[in-house]
């Protein structure tokens, strides 16, 4: 029928695309008017939408009106300048344009032949980023290693633990899986535990080592050394260790060099423990020379991961993983059915990224990272990160000036860990007090923060990293925290 939306028509795409871009631009223009944390109750949307899909087509205007009135109230606005929870998830004009282009081309680039540019651009752009981070040459695609874009850091750690598992089982026999041991600190992201569950690692062989509060919650090399020695003495096989640059709770940084040497020396070079470095959040900061020192020792690692979608102006999802030995990934994850065979692959002339990840299908994600690097350049990206760190420093100073609060761990990047001090002689009340402060602040809708536990203490986290955040948002957020704290303390 005349005027109906066709599955694909260039002129309709132009018309509707303009309307959608206008809608999104208006959303960003007015984003500060929304409560940062959605204030709806569970099940709210089912009451507002029909029970069945429409039989007849509806207009874009009708759909956008429902987005405005029904969907957006149930959205927590991660791009709000008053969003300070978890870690950031960056959007940018460049990232958005790259995402549009990827959606427009809409190819499924699982192997080189399915779209040569997708594979080759991914190799090139991850080499660019590796060089910006000053990663060792072994991580470049020109050698035996290389980079690959995963969806998240959870996927990245899963594929390397599978590669490490299969590598050691080829040496000791598949029946030895019950002896394989994984190590991490109690500050390591929970995605490692899930990867072990998926990978068949016995739960009792998942070693969570206590981080050292005196080291700002970094893992002590002695703690790792003792655990590995004990397990080897009892006939177990240490095979995987994960260190972190910028832990989720407090942005602690593990001492990579010392830990990496333990992974090599304890088990011997030929049987060494796979050493993975998770820099999902803080890796972005390491493109700045003054923060690159946190990566010292990465030369000992077998794999390294950072999320460009966290703090690098690249829209979700885009998690960069580099490995020194790509053959370990390929041997673990490769399949070669007849219907996917082609001359370039069969003659080993190309990289097929399907063999570096869990799923077969993959999007053209390198486009948005390429556009971010080109449209902003490293200089502007460094300035962007430095600005957020300065804003976090401002917040840290404001907290330090108020005797009702304390800074819990030294700030390293753009996360400030702090808490409201309880009344004198009432430390047992501290956790409830800070839990109540979190709830009261978030329920205002004026900002959104999150929490963690450090040494059994309930800690508030203030993570700066949204693209639109300015100094006025920091000052405004602190005013809300002070006001809500005063109300709570008056009731003590």
- Residue 67 in domain: no
* Full domain range(s) for residue 249: 108-363
End-to-end CA distance of the chain: 69
Identify the pLDDT of residue 106.
Answer: 93
- Residue 64 in domain: no
Tokens matching residue 129: 């980023």
* Per-residue pLDDT at 122 exceeds 80: yes
- Residue 422 in domain: no
Identify the pLDDT of residue 270.
Answer: 53
Identify the pLDDT of residue 3.
Answer: 66
Please say whether the beta carbons of 219 and 203 come within 8 A. Answer: no
Q: What is the mean pLDDT of residues 236-244?
A: 96
Give CA torsion, residues 255, 308, 287, 119, to 10 deg: 110
Identify the pLDDT of residue 1.
Answer: 46
The β-bridge relationship of strands 237-244 and 180-185 is: parallel
Identify the pLDDT of residue 490.
Answer: 87
Identify the pLDDT of residue 311.
Answer: 96
**0.85 surpassed by pTM:** yes
pLDDT band at residue 425 under the 50/70/90 scheme? confident
What CATH number does the domain containing 191 carry? 3.40.640.10
Closest alpha carbon to 421 in 440, 441, 402, 444: 402
Containing 206, the helix (H) or strand (E) segment is strand 206-209
Percent of the chain with pLDDT over 90: 90
Query: How confident is the model over 387-405, as pLDDT tens digits?
Result: 999 999 999 999 999 999 9
- Residue 30 in domain: no
pLDDT band at residue 4 under the 50/70/90 scheme? confident
pLDDT band at residue 268 under the 50/70/90 scheme? low
Tell me how far apart the alpha carbons of residues 341 and 32 are, in angstroms, rounded to a whole number: 52
Identify the pLDDT of residue 267.
Answer: 56
Q: What is the mean pLDDT of residues 298-305?
A: 97
* Per-residue pLDDT at 269 exceeds 60: no
pLDDT band at residue 264 under the 50/70/90 scheme? confident
- Residue 217 in domain: yes
Mean residue pLDDT of the chain comes to 94
* Per-residue pLDDT at 217 exceeds 50: yes
- Per the structure, how many domains does the chain have? 1
Please say whether the beta carbons of 484 and 440 come within 8 A. Answer: yes
- Residue 222 in domain: yes
Q: What is the mean pLDDT of residues 249-255?
A: 96
pLDDT band at residue 347 under the 50/70/90 scheme? confident
Query: How confident is the model over 150-186, as pLDDT tens digits?
Result: 999 999 999 999 999 999 999 999 999 999 999 999 9
Q: What is the mean pLDDT of residues 127-150?
A: 97
* Per-residue pLDDT at 271 exceeds 80: no
- Residue 452 in domain: no
* Per-residue pLDDT at 37 exceeds 80: yes
What Cα–Cα distance (Å) separates residue 253 from each residue in 31, 169, 187, 220, 300?
34, 31, 10, 11, 15
- Residue 85 in domain: no
Q: What is the mean pLDDT of residues 307-326?
A: 97
């Amino acid at each position: 029928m005349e005027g109906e939306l066709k599955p694909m028509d260039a002129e309709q795409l132009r018309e509707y695309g303009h309307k959608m871009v206008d809608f999104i631009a208006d959303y960003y223009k007015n984003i500060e008017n929304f409560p940062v944390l959605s204030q709806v109750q569970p099940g709210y949307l089912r009451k507002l939408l029909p029970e069945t899909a429409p039989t007849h087509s509806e207009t874009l205007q009708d759909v956008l009106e429902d987005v405005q009135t029904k969907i957006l109230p149930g959205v927590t606005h991660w791009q709000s300048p008053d969003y300070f929870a978890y870690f950031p998830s960056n959007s940018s004009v460049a990232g958005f344009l790259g995402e549009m282009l990827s959606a427009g081309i809409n190819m499924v680039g699982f192997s080189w032949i399915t779209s040569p540019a997708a594979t080759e651009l991914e190799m090139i752009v991850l080499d660019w980023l590796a060089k910006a981070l000053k990663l060792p040459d072994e991580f470049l695609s020109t050698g035996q290693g290389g980079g690959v874009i995963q969806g998240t850091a959870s996927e990245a750690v899963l594929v390397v633990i599978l590669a490490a598992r299969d590598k050691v089982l080829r040496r000791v026999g598949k029946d030895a899986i019950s002896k394989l041991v994984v190590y991490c600190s109690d500050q390591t992201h929970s995605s490692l535990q899930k990867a072990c569950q998926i990978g068949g690692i016995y739960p009792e062989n998942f070693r969570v080592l206590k981080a050292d509060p005196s080291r700002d919650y970094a893992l002590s090399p002695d703690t790792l050394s003792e655990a590995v020695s004990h397990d080897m003495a009892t006939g177990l096989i240490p095979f995987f260790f994960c260190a972190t640059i910028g832990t989720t709770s407090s942005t602690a940084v593990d001492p990579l060099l010392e830990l990496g040497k333990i992974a090599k020396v304890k088990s011997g070079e030929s049987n060494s423990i796979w050493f993975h470095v998770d820099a999902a959040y803080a890796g972005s900061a390491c493109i700045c020379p003054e923060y690159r020192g946190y990566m010292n020792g990465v030369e000992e690692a077998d794999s390294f991961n950072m999320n460009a979608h966290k703090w690098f102006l690249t829209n979700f999802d885009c998690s960069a993983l580099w490995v020194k030995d790509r053959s370990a990934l390929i041997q673990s994850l490769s399949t070669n059915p007849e219907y996917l065979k082609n001359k370039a692959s069969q003659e080993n002339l190309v990289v097929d990224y399907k063999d570096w990840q869990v799923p077969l299908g993959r999007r053209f994600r390198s486009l948005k990272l390429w556009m971010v690097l080109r449209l902003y350049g490293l200089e502007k990206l460094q300035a962007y990160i430095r600005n957020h760190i300065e804003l976090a420093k401002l917040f840290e100073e404001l907290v330090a000036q108020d005797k009702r609060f304390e800074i819990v761990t030294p700030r390293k990047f753009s996360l400030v860990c702090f808490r409201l001090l309880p009344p004198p002689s009432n430390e047992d009340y501290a956790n409830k007090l800070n839990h109540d402060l979190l709830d009261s602040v978030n329920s205002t809708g004026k900002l959104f923060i999150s929490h963690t536990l450090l040494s059994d203490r309930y800690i508030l986290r203030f993570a700066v990293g949204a693209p639109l955040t300015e100094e006025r948002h920091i000052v405004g957020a602190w005013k809300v925290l002070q006001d809500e704290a005063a109300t709570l303390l008056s009731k003590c």
